[in-house]
Structure 1
Amino acid sequence: MKLPLFIARKYFLSGKKKTFINVISIISMLAVMTGSAALIIVLSVFNGLEGLIRSLYDTFDPELKVTAVEGKTFSLTDSLLTQIDEVEGVRVITQVVEDNAYVRYRDSEMVVTVKGVSDNFLDQHRLDDMIVQGEMKLYEDGINYAIIGRGIQNVLSISPSNDFYALQVFYPKKGRTGNLALDPSRLTNRKNIMPGAVFAIEKQFDEQFIFVPLDFAEELMEYGDRRTSLEIQTTEEASVKDVQAALKELLGEKFQVYNSDEQHSSLLKAIKVEKLFVYVTFFFILAIASFNIFFSLTMLALDKKEDIKVLYAMGANDRLVRNIFLTEGGLISFLGAALGLFIGYSLCYLQSEYGMIGMGMQTSILEAYPVKMEWIDFVLTAASIIFITYLASFRPAGMATRFGKNLKF
């Protein structure tokens, strides 16, 4: 008659040293619980940071960006612009002229990136929610206005409400500049523009960029019909991937079309690599924690030699004895993983809702650490624990069957 697993396990785990073995099992379960909870929390924080970076770049960068494969600029013709505009899903095409320039405001000066954009840049509404001072405009009543980053405003002490001081922008002249010793002003072009608004996104952008009208940048940099890029916004119902594929087919090999992620692929790739290394690190931590399971099951096998003999006498076989140990290891890891995943989920939920742990910096973008839970992290954590537990339980189970073979009648 075949001996049921639950009856054999109940008999097998009884005895004088039951309490001691249970204590070791509880310690093993707590180790698995702590490791799995920590892994979920850390992975969720990485997801939150990745989402934060994406949101910042999505605010500043376009959905699609067209640049030349070779060289810094490309010639934009009316026919090419019309062809791009006729691509299904394209809503707004913003022409861009972008380069570094030297700026001065009263007695302060610095080097910034001047980004000249066509008037329809305002139709994309990317910076509307990021304006902290002034009015979002590039041109009004014959006057050009600049939209500057808050970091630039702080360095140059710019006041958008002050109509008496303009921002002076200098850019190197092209071609021969004549005798500089007699007239150094031949070296650069200079144009004045009024500060119109201040945006605040992130330090990297706030301390670098100034948005100006496209005509202003064309004259300053002598670009003519050349552009550094085209920034494209798609319609709400269109797929960005489909529009990107259509533009690549239309423009050919001379142009590169980047989506939002591809514009910062190196940074996002670095975050994913860091997340992978964190997962691998915690995987080894869980493996070390599983040593407790290995040792507790090994001690159980050594202590229960005589009981294994009785089980064989009652009709047990190698598979049943092996399953007892695998089941015991599985219960320890299952309870530890279930509690760890629940604790990890609970702490991440509380952090996302109430921001219990702050960034600790007054200049940080968010007050609390961002977290984002993804189901794949829970699946990977559970799968890792199952794999590690199986490896930790397999050898003690094999040891027990060898004892049984030596002791059975």
Structure 2
Amino acid sequence: MNYEILLGLRYVRAKRRNGFISFISLISTLGLALGVAALITVLSVMNGFQKELRTRILGVASHIQVTGYDNELGDWQQVADAALKNPDVKAAAPYISEQAMLSFDQTVRGAMVRGVLPAAEDGVAAFSQHMRAGRLADLQPGGFNIVLGIELARALQVRVGDKVTLIAPQGLVTPAAVLPRLKQFTVVGVFEAGHFEYDASLALIHMQDAQALYRMEDRVSGVRLKVADLFEAPRVARALHEQFAGQELLVGDWTRQHANFFRAIAIEKNMMFIILSLIVAVAAFNIVSMLIMVVTDKQADIAILRTLGASPASMMAVFVVQGALIGGFGLLLGVAGGVLLAGNLDVVVPAIEKIAGVSLWSSEVYFIPELPSEILWSDVITVTVIGGVLTLAATLYPSWRASRVQPAEALRYE
């Protein structure tokens, strides 16, 4: 082993005469560990939020939608069959999307009405898993039944079995005036997707009832598709767009339809990464002050080594090794602590709430039963690399100072 590494290890293990240097070294190590652990934990929580939001949105939305230019599609079965020829497309379901007003007992709410085929809809969405009352299969053709989002049902103050009046924007033209089209629907189910946009505005009816109500005959608004890998949806959408070239069809995927939600989370994650990286940088550069004090304390040792033939580069390497070992230990401690904390938030948060007697996470406010967390090893590796680079950078200036020590000046008063 090179003597530079041996000296660096000795300086780390040795009991220093100046206890303040040891204290600064301990603070630097703990500060770096705390900053790295906090960065990994926060990034894991942001990943968990992103996954939770994606799961809730795609529980009621589709991976890909194929629609006509005028929001009407004639032969939807042909489009569905053509899309299913793509090996990445696993299921297809037609739908009708229209606006309406729902009225019950002098309460009126706007809603987005979606006409579906219950059996086919289960293949592209997870409504059956989100039903809080009734079943999606209770939507029968000609029965004029309706399934409401839970927030929409609360706003209307309706329960299963109540009858709501649906007011369609397409009116009936009479000699006196244009009258709105009214139809009573029986509430047969309530779903809770966990996403307020859908829970507060979405209503499901059978597709044949929607065609009759909105006078669409055998036409639909489009076809919803489910792909094997949701992250491949943009690529599959581009392939379908080329497949349907020449036809008046629009192909969109979930990353475009809900881009604002995921863009907001990505921006928040990046900003939190930058802010917490500054904390790691501050902790790493505490090593600078510690090493400068060590260099000042060891000037006599440096001068003696120089007179024995040690080169300036060797002196620089000694203190780089010392700083790297201290920073590396703090980095390793922070990574281990961050991974353990991020992986056990479901245990740590309730324990803190029980000890402190306060509620840190309310499911009634956030509509999520527990703080979500997902550890991505790419994030852990990125944090480790950044922490290592900052630690090595922090050792350069003190090490350079050590290499510039003049033996004669340092030993003049010894």
Give TM-score scaled by structure 2 length.
0.86
Does 306-315 or 134-143 show the bigger shift? 134-143
Amino acid of the structure 2 residue aligned with 1:177: V
- C-alpha distance in 1, partners of 2:239/2:10? 70
Runs of 5+ unmatched residues, structure 2: 354-359
Instruction: Please give the residue correspondences for 1:50-61 in structure 2 after superposition, counting only pairs within 5 Å.
Output: 50-61=50-61
C-alpha contact 2:62 2:225 (8 A) present in aligned 1: yes
Of residues 169, 173, 189, the one that matches 1:177 is 173
Once superposed, what is the RMSD of the aligned Cα atoms? 2.9
Instruction: Please give the residue correspondences for 1:127-166 in structure 2 after superposition, counting only pairs within 5 Å.
Output: 127-140=127-140, 142-160=142-160, 162=161, 165-166=162-163
The aligned residue for residue 222 of structure 2 is 229
Does 70-79 or 41-50 show the bigger shift? 70-79
Aligned length: 397
Distance 1:11 1:171, change over 3 A: closer
Distance 1:34 1:4, change over 3 A: same
Does 259-268 or 289-298 show the bigger shift? 259-268
The aligned residue for residue 210 of structure 1 is 203
User: What's the offset of the Cα at 1:277?
Assistant: 1.1
User: What's the offset of the Cα at 1:82?
Assistant: 4.3
The aligned residue for residue 26 of structure 1 is 26
Does 138-147 or 310-319 show the bigger shift? 138-147
Distance 1:384 1:116, change over 3 A: same
C-alpha contact 2:341 2:348 (8 A) present in aligned 1: no
User: What's the offset of the Cα at 1:228?
Assistant: 2.9
Deviations 1:158-199 (A, max 9, x none): 221x3xx4221111226x8355xx45xx33112222111110
- C-alpha distance in 2, partners of 1:365/1:168? 29
- C-alpha distance in 1, partners of 2:277/2:3? 35
Distance 1:104 1:10, change over 3 A: closer
The aligned residue for residue 63 of structure 2 is 63
The aligned residue for residue 113 of structure 1 is 112
Instruction: Please give the residue correspondences for 1:274-285 in structure 2 after superposition, counting only pairs within 5 Å.
Output: 274-285=268-279
1:313 paired with 2:307, answer yes
Deviations 1:268-304 (A, max 9, x none): 1221121111111111111122231111111222232
Of residues 391, 396, 399, the one that matches 1:389 is 391
Deviations 1:188-236 (A, max 9, x none): 1122221111101122211110011112222322334553331023479
User: What's the offset of the Cα at 1:112?
Assistant: 0.8
User: What's the offset of the Cα at 1:139?
Assistant: 3.8
Does 93-102 or 3-12 show the bigger shift? 3-12
The aligned residue for residue 4 of structure 2 is 5
Deviations 1:98-133 (A, max 9, x none): 122111123322111111123543442621111111
Give TM-score scaled by structure 1 length.
0.87
C-alpha contact 2:148 2:203 (8 A) present in aligned 1: yes
1:199 paired with 2:224, answer no
The aligned residue for residue 377 of structure 1 is 379
C-alpha contact 1:9 1:324 (8 A) present in aligned 2: yes
- C-alpha distance in 2, partners of 1:78/1:8? 77
Deviations 1:63-83 (A, max 9, x none): 321234x55445446644543
User: What's the offset of the Cα at 1:97?
Assistant: 1.6
- C-alpha distance in 1, partners of 2:189/2:16? 79
Distance 1:196 1:298, change over 3 A: same
- C-alpha distance in 2, partners of 1:406/1:145? 96
C-alpha contact 1:33 1:340 (8 A) present in aligned 2: yes
Identity %: 21
The aligned residue for residue 356 of structure 2 is none
Does 242-251 or 312-321 show the bigger shift? 242-251
- C-alpha distance in 2, partners of 1:22/1:57? 53
C-alpha contact 1:218 1:224 (8 A) present in aligned 2: yes
- C-alpha distance in 1, partners of 2:15/2:330? 24
Distance 1:286 1:243, change over 3 A: closer
SS at match of 2:158: coil
1:126 paired with 2:126, answer yes
Deviations 1:37-59 (A, max 9, x none): 11111111101101100110121
Amino acid of the structure 2 residue aligned with 1:105: F
Distance 1:15 1:206, change over 3 A: closer
C-alpha contact 1:138 1:144 (8 A) present in aligned 2: no
Distance 1:110 1:337, change over 3 A: same
Deviations 1:355-392 (A, max 9, x none): 53652242533222111111112111111111111221
